[in-house]
Amino acid sequence: MKAENQDPRPWRRRAVVLTGAVMAAGLLAVTLPTSGGALSPALRIRGADISFTLQEEAIKQTLNDNGVPAPLEQILAARGANYARLRVWVHPAPGTSDLAAALELGRRAHAAGLSLLLNIHYSDSWADRTAQQMPAAWQGQTKEQLARTVETYTRDVVAQFAQQQTPVEIVQIGNEITHGFLWPTGRIYSPDGENWSDFASLVKAGIRGARAGNPAHPPQIMIHSDTGGDRDSSVYFFDHLLSQGVTFDLLGLTYYPFWHGSLRDLRQNLLVLEARYNRDIVIAETAYPWTLASGGGVPSVVTDIQALPDADAYPPTPQGQARFFEALNRVLREVPNGRGAGYLIWEPGWLPGVNADARVGNTHSNLTLFDWWGHGLPALDAFRPTGGAGRGQ
């Protein structure tokens, strides 16, 4: 198991990541049961989080597809992507997911023909299930003051994208906020019980700000949990959020099979959520290994084939990775009423050499869509409308 200080997102420490043998690449994919409904012709949202791009370019990392070098956003767009997800921290170290970097990437992504999904963490660094640190400059505020700060900050961030003629299509209010955000004020679970009211008030403030940031073209609002393969936890979270009167457009899930279960687990969750909430569902983060080796001398988050629940169908090889995304695409297109909107692959260009932060290296280098020398892998086909190059579509 890797050292705990090597993962920027603490909830991921629960994964067992030992070493194991790579399965043969030629295994056939298993046939998973369908939802019984009509298959949507194509996913509407196909994209990636590209927030590390400027940091990669600063160390002269280059990428190419079939030997042709190009910036990441252009490669993804040429392969069929139509969205870029951009991470924004409030007051981080300069050049590390700050607003200036997001605005620059927003201009580039927009020029490449990609729509923008803005992922506002409401933190100065990584925010996730077990780490929702309030920005240092916001600490000490009352609940009412904090709500006004969240609304104003969100409005101003969204407005800056609109002002540079790169309007945001989707705003994510917080990142993996299953346990709340902006702790301690917006923390749901504590020794004293559950506090959904203060959490919901802050979410509502963010939503008001996002919509006010571009009133001529209000963005869709996505609420994001980290419960991709967990039906019960997903229902518990979204039931309680809706009971507080929170209104939103898109239901976002994180789904990494080595932490969140099999594609069958994901499918069962998607079918329940569609029937219960009648909202479009987006896999806001996902990835799959193309190798079990680790790059850059930093142990990867998954190095054991036993951590992959569908490994016999989708081995951790370049071709196995490609087939996994084909299968994921189909699972979403099987969601009734076209509610499986799409997915965003997390940081496909985050190659060795750029650390997660000042303390932690790159523990995700075997989950990219490029090898460690920047050559595009077969899974770039994941951005096609049906997730592949015609195999089994």
Q: Taking the mean position of all CA atoms in its chain, how far away is CA 380?
A: 17
Residue with tokens 């985050």: 350
* Helix axes of 72-79 and 99-111: crossing angle, nearest 10 degrees: 40
The span from the CA of 9 to the CA of 4, in Å, is 10
Q: Which of 56, 73, 151, 285 is catalytic?
A: 285
- 28 within 8 A of 326, measured Cβ to Cβ: no
Nearest to 344 by CA among 64, 113, 128, 86: 86
- 127 within 8 A of 181, measured Cβ to Cβ: yes
Q: Are strands 68-69 and 64-65 parallel, antiparallel or unpaired?
A: antiparallel
Catalytic-residue membership of 347 = no
Amino acid, res. 317? T
Q: Residue 322: exposed, middle, or buried by beta-carbon count in 10 A (0-12, 13-18, 19+)? A: buried
* φ and ψ of 380, to 5 deg: -60, -20
Catalytic-residue membership of 176 = yes
Q: Which of 56, 73, 176, 347 is catalytic?
A: 176
DSSP-derived secondary structure letter, 208: H
Q: Are strands 45-49 and 83-88 parallel, antiparallel or unpaired?
A: parallel
Active-site residue list: 176, 285
